[in-house]
Structure 1
Amino acid sequence: MKKTTYIQFKVPKNEHNSEPDGIVKRNIKKAIVEILSSIIPKGNPDFENKINLIETWIVELENETGIPEREIGMDKDGRIIVKMPFKNNYGYWTDNNLLLPDFKEHFETSEISQDSFENYWSLFEKTEDFETELTDFKIQSTGADGGHNYLMAKVDYNGQKRALIAYFTNKSDEQKIKQLNKVKIRGKIVDDGIEQSLSLFETKLLNG
């Protein structure tokens, strides 16, 4: 008998639904996510500014207790931008009281294999230090949690011109980049394949 179950589900969106039951369920889901978003990120200093970019969660749960043990968050393009517990980050779902039956009740879950989960988990650790100076870049933002800015640009990486998305550790850096024509940044780069954009995590602004 397997000891763990692996589920994935989409983050609830604010969608209209004419069915009263659907409205109630959607509001419950939304309330759960909003409550967690306001409390739990404080225990995840490296990932606080990435929580609101997550569109798909993958969670490992212990079968006997139903307790979440590990979790992975992906953005809208399927890039892994969060995994917890990791370093000083306790977790989003692993640091609350929701159990396996609660996830199945409140979210549209589907199961994945342990091999798939472990593959996703190991991908996040395939990082290296990366530093670059940019004059041609775009600033994108999310409206959630007061808004977070992230940077998009083209960079030379391993002899190829690649798209890069940089996620800043400090919100002060997110504000500073809006005033700059040239930025020098450093972070941990993740390459999920030539068809995907490069992701720069724990990004810090070195000028400004």
Structure 2
Amino acid sequence: MNKELEPASKSLKRDEMIKYAYDLFYKNGFHATGVDTIAEGTGISKRTLYKHFTSKEGLIVATIDYYHAMRYETISGYLKKSTLKNPVEKILVLFDFLAELVDSGMLDGCFAMNAKTEYANKAREIEAAYEAYVAAVQQLIELYLEEGNVTNSKSAAIQVVMLFEGAIIRSKATGNSQSVRLAKEAAKLICNQ
């Protein structure tokens, strides 16, 4: 094999494993999905999988990072395409985005939050990957709130994230987007103080 092609080939195989594992973890959960199932589904050996990821937890962190990049890009794009001019109104569109997901049948919740919940107090690297995702979303919200001259935008951003996360959990439990709409109303109050 051409030595120049090896790193690209390894990267493609790694990406394939991450995407396959992501789909299985999201569908079945993290503890319920074994490394054997992932290896079998991608046609690679467990040994090869462990060359790329030192542990199942390492693979989970890689899938959270994949979700982080994908979801952050989707959220950013959703906000950018909004025709609203007011930055505060624009950031509240996040709740509309979530309501659309829920109304379309996406009731599996936040991938990163699901991982953190299943591995709470058991795998620090998984919790850290979740926290990095939430911090990025919080920072994005804070930027919009600062632009909208919201007093104490950092505190307000934390509160909006809490409402957003709560709406995700509640909509997953109820199977509808009513909690998302209520969370948006609460976020409006926080942002317009």
With the length of structure 1 as denominator, give the TM-score of the two structures: 0.24
Structure with higher strand content: 1
Q: Which has the higher contact order (CA 8 A, sep 6+)?
A: 2
